[in-house]
Amino acid sequence: RFEDGTVSFLDIIALKHGFDVLENLTGGMEKIKQHTFALAHYTYTMLSNLKYANGAPVVRIYSDTDFSNPDVQGPIINFNVLDENGEVIGFSQVDKMASLHNIHVRTGCFCNTGACQMHLDISNEDIQRNLQAGHVCGDNIDVVDGRPTGSVRISFGYMSSFEDAQTFLNFIIATTLSKSDHEIPFQSVTKLTTESVPDDHSSLNNADKLSPMLQISDGVLRNNLSVTRITANWQPPETEAESMRAAVSETAVPTCRKGGKPITVANIYLYPIKSCSAFEVTEWPVGNQGLLYDRNWMVVNQNGVCMTQKQEPRLCLVNPSIDLKQKIMVIQAEGMDPISVSLEDKREKEAVICESKVCSHRVKTYDCGERIADWFSVFLGRPCRLIRQSSDMKSKSHQKNTKGLSSATNISLSLVNEAQYLLINVASILQLKEHISARLEEPLEVEELIQRFRANIVVSAPESFEEEEWAEISIGALQFQVVGPCSRCQIICIDQQSGELNKEILQSLSAARGRKTNFGIYLMNQPLHSSFSDILSVGSQVLPVLKENTEIQPPTSSEEKCSG
């Protein structure tokens, strides 16, 4: 019924050959069923018996069976990871960490809203509240008001092995029993001055903290299986997920930041080509989509799919720069002759406008031609093309409804994922650097860390993470609304100078921030109606307005920062 056109009946003969090959490889579907169910049963038993030192379960499994009969239970396990207090750790955060270790999981509601509501105890009213909070299918809003909006699922197939199951279990063990559990997480300034952390904060730092139940179950299974323990030093982020799409409440009463040292703009970066190297400037014009020409271009593969550093880390070695006087973008890379692209490319008028996707957003683009496509294909060693966002379709093709912006109902975006600007604080970088340096053999330089976080605006503020308490900011004549924190992915693990991957960066961020991967804040520009030119400059003073009931009060000593 869902066939578009005639069924491919000539290919039906291939089914017999496919089943014959499957029979030869595995011995048939009955053996596949027994094999995959054995893996699921083993993993289910181990997961069910994983306990924290306080006796709390590590996971909550959602199932209608007890995994005793393969005729009624398939080889999948659906669950959520819990912290030691029984709170759900968001599925998107677990997914990010799993991907670092080459473990593929599926997350969300799995196109099965009814089962999701039943097992997660989500009412119809909860569904409506989640939608009002900005949650839609396929996004990363995994916890709303402390309750999960979905879960994590693993599946086994005929090619899966017990080693795969053991690797996954060790991954979960490392998640909950990391040695960094005993470290005091970095918190925002407000939390440091208003919340206390008990001196006898319990730590879970090794696998010996597992409950006897796990050891017994493990021992029984060791008769038939060789279990190899893998250690890792990381945690998933905390369960209190802050949505990247969360906007400041319209009813919030902002408070101006009181006293303290002035905050200034330290660096300005734009990224003309999405996922390529940064272009640093001292001052730059602001357009209606953010910094002028920021992420106006992107590289796509031969199928037209956007390529990022997740798929092609060498993109960070491509160095684009903008010459406003000559109205060109110059692209350079080691071993390649420089090549230029006009900022006023007349090709757009003649080109066919195509629809592309950036995350879940649909954008109108056009191809930049064979010459630049050949350049990128040679450098990356694979067929690819450079495309540019269509200028006459910007306002219609990629907009974001942003609650809390008084000047506009729709904010136009370039080829960014979430917002027009990303801001980070040097003080936060310095505190994170201390934590990472303690975990790495070769400490990172501040400049290298700044490059990894790929911000547009870098500010120098007195207190680390005080930017997380801002509701809006003014920089010169420009006004910006804070629309939420930036939840980080594995791109920060990529050295922006070499393209090399170091998993420890994201793991350290998670451990340092108390099971969160948030770092930096997203900004949207509030259009001004004044005679001032819209120019963002290094050295400009930043004037933040705080969220409701927030007052920055710097700790009086380093000891207070750790324990208060």
User: Which residue numbers are catalytic?
Assistant: 111
What are the structure tokens assigned to 560, written together?
Answer: 């207070």
Residues 6+ apart with CB under 8 A from 496: 277, 278, 316, 448, 451, 452, 454
User: Max CA-CA distance within the chain?
Assistant: 79
Q: How far apart are CA 26 and CA 524, in angstroms?
A: 56
Taking alpha carbons only, the member of 182, 421, 163, 104 closest to residue 289 is 421
Residues counted in the chain: 564
Q: How far apart are CA 345 and CA 526, in angstroms?
A: 29
Q: CA distances (Å), 317 to each of 256, 258, 313, 335, in order?
A: 41, 42, 8, 11
Query: What's the sign of the alpha-carbon dihedral 508, 511, 513, 515?
Result: positive
Taking alpha carbons only, the member of 295, 557, 269 closest to residue 416 is 295
Q: If you search the block for the tokens 């999948």, which residue do you land on?
A: 76
Query: What's the sign of the alpha-carbon dihedral 322, 325, 326, 327?
Result: positive
Q: How far apart are CA 457 and CA 475, in angstroms?
A: 11
Q: How far apart are CA 158 and CA 148, in angstroms?
A: 31
Between the CA atoms of 11, 12, 17 and 19, what dihedral angle is there, to the nearest 10 degrees? Answer: 130
Q: How far apart are CA 306 and CA 302, in angstroms?
A: 10
Q: How far apart are CA 276 and CA 168, in angstroms?
A: 33
Taking alpha carbons only, the member of 154, 48, 156 closest to residue 91 is 154
Q: How far apart are CA 130 and CA 122, in angstroms?
A: 10
CB 560 within 8 A of CB 267: no
Taking alpha carbons only, the member of 84, 218, 101, 238 closest to residue 164 is 101
